[in-house]
Structure 1
Amino acid sequence: MSVFDSPTSRRSLLARSAKVAAVPAIAALGSSALITPASADTTGLPDYAPIPPSALGPAVNAQGYYVGRIERNLYWVTDGTYQAAFLTTKDGVVLFDAPPTIGRNLQRAIDEIARANGVSNKVTHIVYSHHHADHLGASSLFGRDVERIGHAETRRLLLRDNDPARPVPDVTFERRKTLHIGGERIELAHLGTNHTPDNVYIHFPDHDTLMLVDVNLPGWVPFQSFNLDEDGPGSIAAPAKALAYPWKHHVGGHMGRLGTREDMTVHQQYIADLVDGVKAALTHVDPTPFFVKYGDNTWAAVKEYQSAQTKYAADPVIRKYTGVLAAADVYTQSTAFVILESIRLDLGIGSQVHA
């Protein structure tokens, strides 16, 4: 296993290359930016609250990955920013997602476990959580002989996208599918849209684990604009659906550690607090000053009005979760905006009929 006896500073240093690789625009700056970070001009960049140590996972190794056992023959791999999982079976390896930032380290991690346990390192199946390239962009590295499994909508979207890095699933399902591979059982379910129309729940009933990607990022607030979710109500409802399963470990697809049921509950409460704040903002923030100020410039009035609403909703949530969830002061306001629009447009709350 790639286990390090390491303080946070060592963990952060080793993870830096993986985190930069996750953002192509930064990676394009070249290696010099990583070699001499002290020379970078940080003048004018904002300060944010410290990251709670509880949000951080184990250190990555010199090759930029960590692989660890979840339970028995189920393992997870991370580069500190993305996650995948795999099962070793008597017939080969079943891989769950193939993030390009982890890339060829996926096979290195599998090889490491296979050598340690005397099992096959051959990937025979890849299960797709959803169609997004940041979670599947290394799928093609495993060749054409691998059987790929995903939701029917994943196949449709990948056919549309025509990306050779993401071969379409060979086997699809609509609602539920139970996989029996190499003596192992995996339950797949599509319980409605959330992050995307095709995002699925992957349950390992014999390993006390649920893989649900891009909904709850354990220890962290959602990424920009509510994880760029396509369905607000579906994403708000997803944690309750996840908690209805029996599990102890959660693979969330992002950041550097596994999740727990407590992490899912905290995420659920964080979103509920934002929903409450947004509903209050729709009632208590007066639009009049903004439209008086900007007159015919309707977009300026709307922009500033909605900024005031999201600030009203987000500020108490930021105060409550700073030190509890990492980056509460970074992305909460953008998530509040998405929830505001979902509450307003999807649920009709705050809409007024002209008399």
Structure 2
Amino acid sequence: MSTPGADSAPQLPDYVPVPESALGPALNADGYYVDRVQDNLFWVTDGTYQSAFLATPAGVVLFDAPPTIGGNLRRAVDEITAAENVPNTVTHLVYSHHHADHAGASYLFGDVVRIGHTETRRLLQRDNDRARPVPDVTFEENYTLEVGGSRVELVYHGPNHSPDNIYIHFPDHDTLMLIDIVNIGWVPIYNLNLSEDVPGYLEAPDRAMEYSWTNFLGGHLGKLGRRDDVVLHQQYIADIVDSSHAALASVDPTPYFMRYGENAWAGVAGYLDAVTNAAAAPVISKYTGVLAAADVPALTTTTTFSILQSIRLDLGGGSQVHP
């Protein structure tokens, strides 16, 4: 006798094990991990998202408030401030950018001074989400925040993952926080971490490497990064760029448009799928077992698609000009 619903159970694929180099520390019983980055700078993760905070004699400065960590941010702050013998009051909250997955627990901290880029303020006003109050303090290019003897440099270099994503530099703590660009030890999630500005995204790691830092907070997954981790990400992206150029030069669009005739979108889809798959295949093969989830086809493939379309549309690569 068969089990009800057994025939409709999805047949899920197997993937290679996650490399040890991509795994972070174990979470505690409450589902989070908090540790010192350097001096009075601490980071918090639930294994999927990251936040950070400065524990100072004048209060706590929080950087992002992901809802998946949620109330565990308060627990982490209380745990550390008690051990450090400093106040546990959160006085400031810095938004890296406006997206709800990194800012959606902001409301938990009540009446604090919120800081973000001017575009963050505009986008949060547009979104009208009570979970993400608009920033009280905004800036256009850069802003220095000093609280309780700790200094942070907030800098805007233009759009990348989002129109408002900023660089958060802790010069006295040898650390850079740059969200949704590099997933330490892992490939990007779909379409370059769902980034809106591909040229800006591609440039961002180079910008990051211009800063002085040893520790890197990327906003996702359970590991603190180092400079070598960003270099590996740059190599992965560079290989996709090179492979995309090669595929654009080698895949002939003619058969797809001949086959589908007046169904122009079918011809376009067939051609773009063929170019994307040709470009992604060698990258998937090279990085499987090196970067976690590299063998999950949709991830590298959709990231390749985004880069390939930027090469075509932003840079003019692969354009066929009618004679």
TM-score, structure 1 as length reference:
0.87
**Counterpart pick for 1:333 among 301, 316, 321:** 301
Cα distance change, pair 354–292 in 1 and its aligned pair in 2 (3 A): closer
Distance in structure 2 (CA, Å) of the matches to 1:167 and 1:82? 20
- Report the Cα offset of residue 43 of structure 1: 4.3
Specify the alignment match of 1:155 in structure 2. 121
User: Given residue 225 of structure 1, which amino acid in structure 2 is its aligned partner?
Assistant: N
Q: Give structure 1 stretches of 5+ with no counterpart.
A: 1-38
**Counterpart pick for 1:109 among 53, 57, 76:** 76
RMSD: 1.3
User: Given residue 20 of structure 2, which amino acid in structure 1 is its aligned partner?
Assistant: P
Specify the alignment match of 2:219 in structure 1. 253
Specify the alignment match of 1:239 in structure 2. 205
Q: 2:157 aligned with 1:191, yes or no?
A: yes
User: Given residue 206 of structure 1, which amino acid in structure 2 is its aligned partner?
Assistant: D
- Report the Cα offset of residue 323 of structure 1: 1.0
- Report the Cα offset of residue 354 of structure 1: 2.0
Cα distance change, pair 201–288 in 1 and its aligned pair in 2 (3 A): same
User: Given residue 192 of structure 1, which amino acid in structure 2 is its aligned partner?
Assistant: G
Specify the alignment match of 1:167 in structure 2. 133
- Report the Cα offset of residue 157 of structure 1: 0.3
**Counterpart pick for 1:121 among 88, 92, 105:** 88
Specify the alignment match of 1:209 in structure 2. 175
Q: Per the alignment, in what secondary structure is the counterpart of residue 252 of structure 2?
A: coil
Specify the alignment match of 1:346 in structure 2. 314
Q: Per the alignment, in what secondary structure is the counterpart of residue 141 of structure 1?
A: helix
Specify the alignment match of 1:221 in structure 2. 187
Q: Per the alignment, in what secondary structure is the counterpart of residue 185 of structure 1?
A: strand
User: Given residue 259 of structure 2, which amino acid in structure 1 is its aligned partner?
Assistant: K
Specify the alignment match of 1:69 in structure 2. 36
Q: 2:288 aligned with 1:322, yes or no?
A: yes
Which 4+ stretches in 1 moved above 3 angstroms? Answer: none
Q: Per the alignment, in what secondary structure is the counterpart of residue 234 of structure 1?
A: helix
Distance in structure 2 (CA, Å) of the matches to 1:116 and 1:266? 36
Q: Per the alignment, in what secondary structure is the counterpart of residue 295 of structure 2?
A: helix
CA deviation vs aligned residue, 1:115-156 (integer Å, no higher than 9, x gap): 111111110000000000000000000002x00000000000
User: Given residue 52 of structure 1, which amino acid in structure 2 is its aligned partner?
Assistant: P
Distance in structure 2 (CA, Å) of the matches to 1:296 and 1:132? 41
| Number of corresponding residues | 316
In the TM superposition, 1:32-71 aligns within 5 A as: 43-71=10-38
CA deviation vs aligned residue, 1:215-243 (integer Å, no higher than 9, x gap): 00100000111111111111001000000
Q: Per the alignment, in what secondary structure is the counterpart of residue 328 of structure 1?
A: coil
- Report the Cα offset of residue 42 of structure 1: 5.9
Distance in structure 2 (CA, Å) of the matches to 1:300 and 1:48? 31
User: Given residue 44 of structure 1, which amino acid in structure 2 is its aligned partner?
Assistant: Q
User: Given residue 308 of structure 1, which amino acid in structure 2 is its aligned partner?
Assistant: A
Distance in structure 2 (CA, Å) of the matches to 1:280 and 1:180? 49
